[in-house]
Amino acid sequence: MNKKNIRFASASVDFYFGTSFGTLKQIVDPSRTILITDQNVWDLHQKRFRGWKTIVVPPGEASKVQATVDTVINQLIQMAADRTYSLVGVGGGVVTDLTGYIASVYMRGIPFGFVPTTVLALVDASIGGKNGIDVGAYKNMVGVIRQPRFILQDIIFLNTLPQKEWANGFAEIIKHAAIANASVFRYLEEHGPAYFQKHKKEACALIQKNALLKAAIVQKDEEERSLRKLLNFGHTLGHAIENAYGLSHGEAISIGMAKAADISSQLTGFKGSSRLKELLQRYHLPVSHSFNTDAVIRILSADKKKDGNAINYILLEKIGKAVIRPIPIVDFQKYLS
């Protein structure tokens, strides 16, 4: 077990890297803990849930909505879960977002932890305390910032992860490298996705490095007043097209990053746009999509990152260095077309 306690402004979180799922019994009391997972993870890993009270939700982004929250809360009431209980989300980002949100509002807040089972959730969604749900095409429109007590990483779950979900996870890994770590970017260029799928030790090290990279940014700015905004690279456009076009989160932010790189070329003199797009494509991610500009602008106008009539947009100056620039919403029309 490789345990590391990381202190954020609001709370400290125990990270259990490379730790067997079986250890969960030592971290929380099984008699007062309810696991939340989705149908796919349940079907593939049912035996691991033996001995745990478990709530299973339908898989996919469509579940990250208030209706699922209501259903789970009704089940918690039926199971007589009181404030001495903990919730543990075992799944991808949909399950960790849902679990963190439900635990934050159920009985005005009960403790929770995460066992992320996708690459995306391991390196990103489970870390940082943002837990929220969607409202129609508006991603993460309702939510809280509240830290989990712990995050347990056991990459055994990745043995069943479909190819497409590896690509989705690499979108966030490439994002981290593009905004904050040029040497990880080069390392990703040296090896392709097949290398990390085959070499689990290297995949585990890359995941841990990325998780710590995100945690370090959140440590400096938990409330997203400045530095944490850089993690939204690719997310402004990405979120605006994700639900509207039924894209996965990784696909949507990959397209968003490619567009932001092109805009960076015009606004910051960024020279690495082709290099970034090549890396995204190498990791089986899309770099363009046709969309209705007016509809996207409408969604952007309700974006949480909006500041007056401008969007705080994340641009690259060079690989490994991102900056925040306000871009008037009216100018977006020009950049998006």
| Inter-residue contact 86 to 113 (CB < 8 Å) | yes
Closest separation between CB of residue 8 and ligand NAD, Å?
Answer: 13
Q: Give the integer Cα–Cα distance in Å for 288 and 255.
A: 5
| Least Cβ distance, residue 289 to ligand NAD (angstroms) | 17
The strand pair at 86-91 and 33-38 is best described as parallel
Residues forming contacts to ligand NAD in the complex (CB under 6 A) are: 38, 40-41, 44, 59-61, 64, 91-95, 97, 117-118, 120-121, 124-125, 128, 130-131, 139-140, 157, 160-162, 165, 168, 249
Instruction: Pick the closer one to ligand NAD by CB: 173 or 267.
Output: 173
* 206, HSE (Cβ side, Cα atoms, 13 Å): 27
Q: What are 253's two structure tokens?
A: 């932010």
Q: Which is nearer to ligand NAD, 92 or 286 (CB)?
A: 92
Q: Residue 333 CB, nearest distance to ligand NAD (Å)? A: 26
**257 vs 267, beta carbon nearer ligand NAD:** 257
- Burial class of residue 22, CB neighbours in 10 A (0-12, 13-18, 19+): exposed
Evaluate whether 129 touches 221 at the Cβ level (below 8 Å): no
Closest distance of CB 31 from ligand NAD, Å = 26
Pairing of strands 33-38, 53-57: parallel
Q: Which residues are catalytic?
A: 108, 130, 172, 214, 224, 228, 232, 235, 239, 249
- Beta-ladder partners of 37: 56, 90
Q: Are 133 and 69 in contact (CB under 8 A)?
A: yes
Give the nearest residue (CB) to ligand NAD: 93
Minimum CB distance to ligand NAD smaller for 253 or for 267:
253
